[in-house]
């Protein structure tokens, strides 16, 4: 498993779908490998709130789940993005219940990432996922450019209305 971090949360310019971009923690090159995962708007909002440590007036679903885990005496030790099938990513949240108890629970990567940013749990991807899904950025892509994308997404969220997502 390869330890990764979130480097960007942005909107796909064509589909207007949110994309979370992961990068191996030990990769500091200009032309590094990035893993884009397209996610839903609600999950993107949850990830952004977690990254920005925004506390909504009432708990969001991922806040509730983090609290339930803690109240039950367990700890989210890591999130593993384990495979891709037909373009769909699969993840496990790994919980430590103490006294040698560990649970791996199947979850969507977007929900897993939203939970991880709330608990401080590290993110990992399998070598298979890295080989299949990683893209290599053009040299010159900087952290500042990634931060600019996050800011664009924040602006989008500031002006979005829930009715925009109804079918």
Give the chain as a DSSP string: -EEEEEEEEEE-TTT--EEEEEEETT--STT-EEEEEE--HHHHHHHHHHHTT---SS--HHHHHHHHHHHTT-EEEEEEEEEEETTEEEEEEEEEEETTEEEEEEE-HHHHHHHHHHHT--EEE-HHHHHHH-EEPPTT--HHHHHHHHHHHHHHHHH--GGGG--
Tens digit of each residue's pLDDT (9 = 90 or more) over 49-88: 999 888 888 888 999 999 999 999 999 999 999 999 999 9
Q: Are 22 and 125 in contact (CB under 8 A)?
A: yes
pLDDT exceeds cutoff 70 at 155: no
pLDDT band at 48 (very low <50, low <70, confident <90, very high): very high
The CATH class given to the 2-165 domain equals alpha beta
Domain boundaries, the chain: 2-165
Distance of CA 26 to the CA centre of its chain: 18
What pLDDT sits at residue 163?
Answer: 56
Q: Percentage of the chain with pLDDT > 70?
A: 80
User: Could you tell me the pTM of the whole model?
Assistant: 0.79
| Whether residue 38 has pLDDT greater than 60 | yes
Which tokens belong to 155?
């602006």
């Amino acid at each position: 498993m390869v330890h990764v971090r979130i480097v960007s949360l942005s909107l796909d310019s064509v589909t207007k779908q949110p994309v979370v971009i992961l990068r191996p923690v030990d990769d500091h090159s200009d032309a590094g490998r990035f893993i884009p995962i397209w996610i839903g708007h609600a999950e993107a909002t949850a990830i952004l709130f977690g990254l920005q440590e925004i506390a909504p007036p009432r708990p969001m679903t991922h806040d509730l789940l983090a609290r339930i885990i803690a109240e039950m005496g367990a700890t989210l030790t890591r999130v593993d993005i384990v495979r891709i099938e037909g373009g769909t990513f699969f993840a496990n949240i790994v919980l430590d219940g103490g006294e040698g108890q560990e649970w791996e629970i199947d979850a969507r990567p977007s929900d897993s990432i939203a939970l991880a940013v709330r608990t401080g749990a590290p993110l990992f991807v399998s070598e298979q996922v890295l080989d299949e899904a990683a893209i290599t950025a053009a040299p010159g892509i900087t952290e500042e450019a990634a931060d600019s994308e996050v800011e664009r997404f924040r602006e989008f969220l500031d002006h979005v209305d829930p009715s925009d997502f109804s079918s």
